[in-house]
Structure 1
Amino acid sequence: MVNTEQFTKRLHKIMEYYDLSAASFADKIDVGRSSISHLLSGRNKPSLDFVMKIINAFPEVELYWLLNGKGNFPAKENIGSSANSEKAPSAPSNNLFTESLKENSQSPMPPEERKTQGKKEIKKIVFFYTDGSFEAFDH
């Protein structure tokens, strides 16, 4: 028998490891968002189909660990898998931002263009939290 409270803690650990919200986790394993919500709140227990979708979507998750909490997460034998490479790339690579910084340092904006841009004002700031909630602040 699966301890639902402990299973929920392991689900949270998986979501934190992959940096996923409950909604994106549900999308990734192809289940309804309400299913995740009901599991995390303790309303429902996990079905076999739900557990198998997690195992299939995330190779680092061991079935025995997910159900009983015994074993390792992430699984050590799946270190070279494609899902793990999504989490932590093996070699550092240039990203979009480092490329744009190089471009900007090579060709600075002419003074005429800087004057015509005018001042920008902040209209709205939105904070998104890991639990799926958010706060919006209007100017």
Structure 2
Amino acid sequence: MVNVEEFAKRLKIIIDYYEISASLLAEKMGIQRSSISHILSGRNKPSLEFVLKILKTFPEVELYWLLNGVGEFPKQTITKNQHPPLSFTDDSKQTTKLIAENIPDNKKEDEIDRIVIFYKNGTFKSYFS
């Protein structure tokens, strides 16, 4: 179940992030201003339709963050020509080398360009050789 108080705090974060008023938020979402006011005050719980309208209006809002505070806001969206910032450690080349050394001899003629590890939370790490 969604904690209404915490949901209202996250809705306020969205309003502050976009530097808009509650009434402008309502206008962008195509809903009545009173709906925003009632949710922010804790009087009403957000409906599924309300949550879906937020996600449609603001694609940077992550569903799990909005409902439970888990995740991040704004979520990082990656377009076709964009690459997320990568963090490298000193052992990234070492890791690539170790993996390459464990490939059977008949496959060593192909050089490894990069290794990408995908995590269940949607993030990943990329190691370049």
Q: Please state which band the TM-score falls in when normalised by the shorter chain.
A: 0.5 to 0.7
Q: Considering fraction of residues, name the structure with more helix.
A: 1
CA separation in 2, counterparts of 1:8 and 1:79?
Answer: 30
Aligned to 2:53: 53
Q: Following TM superposition, by how much is the alpha carbon of 1:77 offset from its aligned partner in structure 2, in angstroms? A: 2.2
- 2:77 match: secondary structure: helix
TM-score by length of 1: 0.55
Identity within the alignment, %: 61
Q: Following TM superposition, by how much is the alpha carbon of 1:76 offset from its aligned partner in structure 2, in angstroms? A: 1.2
Aligned length: 80
Q: Which amino acid aligns with 1:10?
A: R
Aligned to 2:5: 5
Q: Against the structure 1 CA distance between its residues 44 and 76, is the aligned structure 2 distance closer, same or farther, given a 3 Å change threshold?
A: same
Aligned to 1:69: 69
In structure 2, runs of 5+ residues without a counterpart are 81-129
Aligned to 1:24: 24
Give the superposed CA RMSD: 1.5
1:1-139 mapped onto 2 (5 Å cutoff): 1-77=1-77
Native 8 Å contact 1:60 1:78 kept in 2: no
Aligned to 1:122: none
TM-score by length of 2: 0.60
CA separation in 1, counterparts of 2:20 and 2:8?
Answer: 15
CA separation in 2, counterparts of 1:59 and 1:45?
Answer: 21
